[in-house]
Amino acid sequence: MNAPVSLAAIVERHAADVEARLVAALASDSVLDVASRYHLATGGKRLRALLPIWLGTNLGGDPEAAIPLGLGIELLHNATLVHDDLQDGDRTRRGEPTVWTVWGDAQAINVGNHLFFVGVDHLARSGADAAFLSRAARVMIDVVGGQALEFQLQLPADHRDHVGATVAGWERMARGKTAALFALCAEAGALSAGADPGERARAAAFGSDVGLLFQLQDDLLDLVGDKGRGETATDIAEGKISYPVAWAKENAGEAARMRLMAIIRTPREVTSRAMVEEALGILRDVGAIDAAARRIGDMWRELRESRYDALLPGLVERVLEPVRHALPA
Amino acid sequence: MNAPVSLAAIVERHAADVEARLVAALASDSVLDVASRYHLATGGKRLRALLPIWLGTNLGGDPEAAIPLGLGIELLHNATLVHDDLQDGDRTRRGEPTVWTVWGDAQAINVGNHLFFVGVDHLARSGADAAFLSRAARVMIDVVGGQALEFQLQLPADHRDHVGATVAGWERMARGKTAALFALCAEAGALSAGADPGERARAAAFGSDVGLLFQLQDDLLDLVGDKGRGETATDIAEGKISYPVAWAKENAGEAARMRLMAIIRTPREVTSRAMVEEALGILRDVGAIDAAARRIGDMWRELRESRYDALLPGLVERVLEPVRHALPA
């Protein structure tokens, strides 16, 4: 894989086409298509559509073979976002009102379900065989399982469904919620290039690690960056167990840990800005922010050992720019 | 199709196996499998699992070829039930607390999504090709579209998403929400028997009509029977546009129509039992209950003309017994 095609080049060549095809897949005047297009118009990098094209192109495949797979996975991803916004009670996404605030809870569930099956239909019509569709379904089972685990990590220890908010628990959640779909993207790219099962499995492992890195970045940016919701640290207010929180829970002294978790477990509507700032201060003081940056560095070193290390500079440029400082040379 | 295998015989032979396989498909101790098994244990006739076996057997197929398809469709159906209960605010199903009341709204969304993809995985591993999976996805798009339409029919005329609560609107909703999945069941049965595309299309049309009949029966039983929720006419309290309500809205005099729709559109929590009884009285007085029975008779006559008329006595026995009196000889 010399002189790889960069992700930027793939974006340049295919992003507009991908966008047009997503909109064309949801073109009717039904409320579900209207709401789906509204959701898509709130933005997004369409990474799940572009990654299969990128991987496939670099493995010698025809982009046209990868595009329907990418569109299908992107639609599945957006289905989960519509449901997520409702589940988390998020009223805005990138500054725009979320689907459930415009169309109500019941229709938001339908909009997500609609996007699921438009996505499945794209995969089914992509030319992929039933075995790949089974693989995609099992990936979605992992994604939904990760989302379920995300809520379980937030439950108090005496709750029936409690799962310990450990670093291992966080990783299990993130491998499902985020990394599984990245793995499917990479595998779809390999499939589109006619790769053998061994190559497909290596691509999936690479994709999963990229996904975990992406989730680590997302967790870190929520605390110290701007995800476009107009405020930082919404994860803390929402009670989410991000990597830094899980790390602090395992590694901080008792007083800091107790105070941090008390803030995390305070219901969102009574969590004050001062409490969020206090939690941020604790995370910084106990070294949890640094630990997240270190873990990003560790993941990066692992990826450098992979079959696809030639592709990594392209990833930094388009996906991991915000944490570039944490990536070892 | 002489001496057909009755649906009762299929139930006798396969119901226990179907039940065991459904539970085995959801066997882990994850919260999503636990909640899915809990939901299944609230009961159900597993019609969507049994219909493909029944059709397939009568077309000369091997039941083992139909069973994975039936299981997949049954799982998809149960996914929609878990979401429906949340969307409708139904606190009990067949006397048991619904999933959302036990695990909360966010996890109920995840449980439904889990069942969707366990279902898709079953279809993908059934031996069916990608074209059938695309067909199944498009059926699910119709199902979700019907559910979206169900809410739109309930909206006041000045609402952006309002759809007129006409008989035609009701039929469009029911052809999606209920009939589409029955069509898929019948088509899956034909597929499992190696039927050609023409036979598959005829089976699907038969299944769709059976589904519409089933929805008419469901609408009627809600008003005059007992669906096992411990009270009648929950559709009226929930504001649903059932067939009799849509018929009355088109055919009743203005005073009766205005009063009926005022009750239907009263929020559930302020709809008194007396108001429900009043609406029931209006529906009886304007002839809407009789009209529903007549429509059931008309549908039945159409089915008698179909390729599968030899199967109809078996349907009456296991599915349509409650409206037997409305079926012309």
pTM value?
Answer: 0.96
Q: How far is A122 from chain B (nearest CA, A)?
A: 8
Mark yes or no for CB contact A144/B110 under 8 Å. yes
Q: Please check whether residue A91 touches B, CB under 8 A.
A: no
Distance CA B186, CA B59 (A): 11
Q: Say which range, A233-247, A298-312, B216-230, has the weakest mean pLDDT.
A: B216-230
Q: Please check whether residue A155 touches B, CB under 8 A.
A: no
What is the DSSP pairing of strand B96-97 with strand B92-93?
Answer: antiparallel
Interface list for B 70-89 with A (CB within 8 A)? 83, 86-88
| Count of residues making up chain A | 329
Distance CA B136, CA B81 (A): 17
Predicted pLDDT at A307: 86
pLDDT in tens, B65-121: 999 999 999 999 999 999 999 999 999 999 999 999 999 999 999 999 999 999 999
Which chain B residues are within 8 Å of A127, Cβ to Cβ?
130
**What is the ipTM, given to two decimal places?**
0.96
For residue B294, name the pLDDT band (cuts at 50, 70, 90): very high
Distance CA A237, CA A227 (A): 14
Superfamily of domain B7-326, CATH level 4 = Farnesyl Diphosphate Synthase (1.10.600.10)
CB A230 within 8 A of CB A327: no
Predicted pLDDT at A6: 92
Predicted pLDDT at B1: 57
User: For residue A144, which of B46, B74, B26, B180 has the smallest C-alpha distance?
Assistant: B26
For residue B328, name the pLDDT band (cuts at 50, 70, 90): confident
User: For residue B220, which of B209, B208, B232, B210 has the smallest C-alpha distance?
Assistant: B232
Distance CA A76, CA A119 (A): 5
Q: How far is A113 from chain B (nearest CA, A)?
A: 7
Q: How far is B278 from chain A (nearest CA, A)?
A: 28
Residue, of A278 and A322, whose pLDDT is higher: A278
Predicted pLDDT at B229: 52
Mark yes or no for CB contact A133/B137 under 8 Å. no
Mark yes or no for CB contact A130/B134 under 8 Å. no
| Pairs across A and B, CB distance < 8 A | 127
Q: Which of A127, A128, A144 sits opposite B32 (nearest CB)?
A: A144
Q: Please check whether residue A38 touches B, CB under 8 A.
A: no
pLDDT in tens, A203-213: 999 999 999 99
Backbone phi and psi for residue A3, each to the nearest 5 degrees, phi listed first: 45, 60
Q: Please check whether residue B31 touches A, CB under 8 A.
A: yes
Predicted pLDDT at A322: 85
Q: Please check whether residue B154 touches A, CB under 8 A.
A: no
Residue A229 has pLDDT above 70, yes or no: no
Q: Which of A83, A124, A127 sits opposite B133 (nearest CB)?
A: A124
Which chain A residues are within 8 Å of B30, Cβ to Cβ?
145, 148
* Nearest-Cα residue of chain B relative to residue A119: B137
Q: What would the two tokens of residue B32 be?
A: 């999503």
Residue B301 has pLDDT above 60, yes or no: yes
Write down the mean pLDDT value for chain B.
94
Percent of chain B past pLDDT 90, that is, above it, reads: 87
| Mean pLDDT computed over A92-109 | 97
Q: Please check whether residue A141 touches B, CB under 8 A.
A: yes
pLDDT in tens, A249-290: 999 999 999 999 999 999 989 999 999 999 999 999 999 999
Which chain B residues are within 8 Å of A141, Cβ to Cβ?
114, 117-118, 121
Query: What is the end-to-end Cα distance of chain A in Å, rounded?
Result: 20
Which chain B residues are within 8 Å of A104, Cβ to Cβ?
151
Write out the H or E segment, with its range, that includes residue A240.
Answer: none
Distance CA B77, CA B305 (A): 28
For residue A245, name the pLDDT band (cuts at 50, 70, 90): very high
Mark yes or no for CB contact A117/B144 under 8 Å. yes
Mark yes or no for CB contact B106/A125 under 8 Å. no
Sign of the CA dihedral running A139, A141, A145, A148: positive
Q: How far is B307 from chain A (nearest CA, A)?
A: 30
Q: Please check whether residue A30 touches B, CB under 8 A.
A: yes
* Mutate which: A31, A76, A103, vs B, most B CBs within 10 A: A31
pLDDT in tens, B41-75: 999 999 999 999 999 999 999 999 999 999 999 99
* Mutate which: B109, B142, B149, B155, vs A, most A CBs within 10 A: B109
| Mean pLDDT computed over A9-20 | 97
Residue A102 has pLDDT above 70, yes or no: yes
Q: Which of A112, A121, A140 sits opposite B137 (nearest CB)?
A: A121
For residue A127, name the pLDDT band (cuts at 50, 70, 90): very high
User: For residue A134, which of B129, B93, B163 has the smallest C-alpha distance?
Assistant: B129
Mark yes or no for CB contact B144/A106 under 8 Å. no
User: DSSP alpha helices (H): ranges in chain B?
Assistant: 7-24, 31-41, 47-58, 63-88, 99-103, 105-124, 130-153, 167-174, 180-192, 197-224, 234-238, 243-251, 254-264, 273-285, 288-304, 312-315
Predicted pLDDT at B187: 98
Mark yes or no for CB contact A83/B138 under 8 Å. no
Predicted pLDDT at A126: 96
Interface list for A 100-119 with B (CB within 8 A)? 103-107, 109-110, 112-114, 116-118
pLDDT in tens, A170-222: 999 999 999 999 999 999 999 999 999 999 999 999 999 999 999 999 999 99
- Centre a 10 Å sphere on the Cβ of residue A304 and count the other Cβ atoms it contains: 13
Predicted pLDDT at B322: 85
Q: Residue A255 burial (CB < 10 Å; 0-12/13-18/19+)?
A: exposed
* Nearest-Cα residue of chain A relative to residue B152: A31
Give the position of tokens 């995840």: B110
Distance CA A13, CA A11 (A): 5
Distance CA B302, CA B300 (A): 5
Architecture of the domain made up of A7-320: Orthogonal Bundle (1.10)
List, in order, residues 6 or more apart from B141 with CB less than 8 Å away.
A114, A117, A118, A121
Residue A230 has pLDDT above 80, yes or no: no
Mark yes or no for CB contact A124/B103 under 8 Å. no
User: For residue B82, which of B93, B73, B71, B72 has the smallest C-alpha distance?
Assistant: B93
User: For residue A143, which of B114, B270, B99, B185 has the smallest C-alpha distance?
Assistant: B114
> What are the boundaries of each domain within chain A?
7-320
pLDDT in tens, B113-158: 999 999 999 999 999 999 999 999 999 999 999 999 999 999 988 9
Q: Please check whether residue A154 touches B, CB under 8 A.
A: no
User: For residue B36, which of B138, B151, B118, B95 has the smallest C-alpha distance?
Assistant: B118
For residue A226, name the pLDDT band (cuts at 50, 70, 90): low
- Centre a 10 Å sphere on the Cβ of residue A119 and count the other Cβ atoms it contains: 24
Predicted pLDDT at A317: 80
Which chain A residues are within 8 Å of B181, Cβ to Cβ?
none
For residue A224, name the pLDDT band (cuts at 50, 70, 90): confident
Backbone phi and psi for residue A72, each to the nearest 5 degrees, phi listed first: -60, -45
Which chain A residues are within 8 Å of B130, Cβ to Cβ?
124-125, 127-130, 133
| Mean pLDDT computed over A49-68 | 96
Residue, of B168 and A317, whose pLDDT is higher: B168
Q: Please check whether residue A133 touches B, CB under 8 A.
A: yes
Predicted pLDDT at B227: 52
CB B190 within 8 A of CB B203: yes
Q: Which of A31, A116, A130 sits opposite B130 (nearest CB)?
A: A130
Give the position of tokens 């559709």: B235
